[in-house]
Amino acid sequence: MTPLSRKIRVRDLIIGGGAPIPVQSMCATRTRDIDATVAQVNALEKAGAGLVRVAIDNATDAEALKEVRRQTKARLVVDLQENYPLAEAIAPHVDKIRYNPGHLHHLEKDTPIEKKVERLAAIAKVNGNAIRVGVNCGSIAPQFLEKFPGDQTRAIVESALFHCDLLDGFHFTEYVVSLKDSDPEKVVACNREFAKRRPDVPIHLGVTEAGLLPDGVIKTRLAFEKLIPLGIGDTIRVSLTLPNPEKYREIEWGRKILEDIAEGRFISAPGFGKGLNIISCPSCSRVENGDFVRLAEEVKRMTVYAKEKKLTIAIMGCRVNGPGETDDADLGLWCGPSTVTLKRKSHAVGSYRYNEVLPVLKKNLDQLIGC
């Protein structure tokens, strides 16, 4: 059993130190659409979300967030992505800030990463925010990919440890860390290694881009069931590809998984993951076309004939995780506002409209499996 992590506070919510594990989710609405965002925040909170995340892409979203904050009492987490300079304007209106170490290099390229993290820590301190350091397999900081070539798991863990050391050095301890991958086995490996080296740091657990039901829940459970009984995991998210009105189901499934683990009800999935693996990101506010969800469902139906083949197909809905995740897949669909880029590993086959891409995908799949 891993020693208990320290407790951190997100407004009135305690995370870590053996406290009950809160379930969280992320709005799939555009933050600038205030009415839709408020409605989804409230729906997620009603379903039992301990925290609700929103994404900020620009100053328009940041301004809208002020009104979202005014209209809801939910604990809000802001996802900064590439736009960490907006933190100062946003921090007074949220309870927690999530930054991705793999995106800090995009802006203000001449400013050292250490200085950027120091700035974020100072802003969070002044505004009473907690921080999540969110390391993701699809966007690992280049310096760690270069330092550990061919060892993505080590790169993820070392990136997380580096940022923990930075925050500690700035005397900021109100933070959690997430180490996410779309492969449950890698999630287990990353989090076990991190927890061994930093048992004091609370961990946010998740399998990123877990995908459609029921596979998305199975992948998530395979990771959570191996970690939570060891005391690894202080807050969770179940990242599912769902239509906007059904986002609350992430909370329902998260609560169900925690309940089953507490009662000793574990799933058995012999052979799961041995054949075709379809990865799709959770519908969120960064998705650039809502038809992405429908396309993911169509891909799952169309490819059932290849279910015994050991291949990965990734369907990504935004520019943030699209490039990295599809680079690692045998076939990837990177979905933009009006077109879908089809890839074979890192090679772009071409761009197609949403209603044109399925036959081209099938042709490439048939080539790979020798039909």
* Residue 74, burial from CB neighbour count under 10 angstroms (0-12, 13-18, 19+): buried
Provide the mean pLDDT of the chain.
92
Which pairing describes strands 96-99 and 130-136: parallel, antiparallel, or unpaired? parallel
pLDDT score of 326 more than 80? no
Give the pLDDT score at 335: 87
Which candidate, 98, 75, 76, 69, places its Cα nearest to that of 86?
98
Within 10 angstroms of residue 181's Cβ, the number of other Cβ atoms is 26
Between CA 44 and CA 48 the distance in angstroms is 7
146 residue type, one letter: E
Is the four-CA dihedral 56, 62, 68, 73 of positive or negative sign?
positive
* Residue 302 and residue 295 in contact, taking contact as beta carbons nearer than 8 Å: no
CATH placement of domain 8-262: 3.20.20.20
Q: For domain 277-369, give the fold.
A: Sulfite Reductase Hemoprotein; domain 1 (3.30.413)
* Residue 31 and residue 260 in contact, taking contact as beta carbons nearer than 8 Å: no
pLDDT score of 321 more than 80? no
Which candidate, 5, 33, 61, 25, places its Cα nearest to that of 174?
5
pLDDT score of 170 more than 90? yes
* Residue 172 and residue 181 in contact, taking contact as beta carbons nearer than 8 Å: no
Give the chain's largest Cα–Cα span.
61
User: Domain boundaries in the chain?
Assistant: 8-262, 277-369
Give the pLDDT score at 21: 98
Within 10 angstroms of residue 346's Cβ, the number of other Cβ atoms is 12
Between CA 324 and CA 102 the distance in angstroms is 11
Report pLDDT digits (tens) over 97-140: 999 999 998 888 899 999 999 999 999 999 999 999 999 988 89
Span 296-323, average pLDDT:
86
Helix axes 184-197, 215-227, angle to 10 degrees: 30
* Residue 349, burial from CB neighbour count under 10 angstroms (0-12, 13-18, 19+): middle
Is the four-CA dihedral 299, 47, 27, 104 of positive or negative sign?
negative
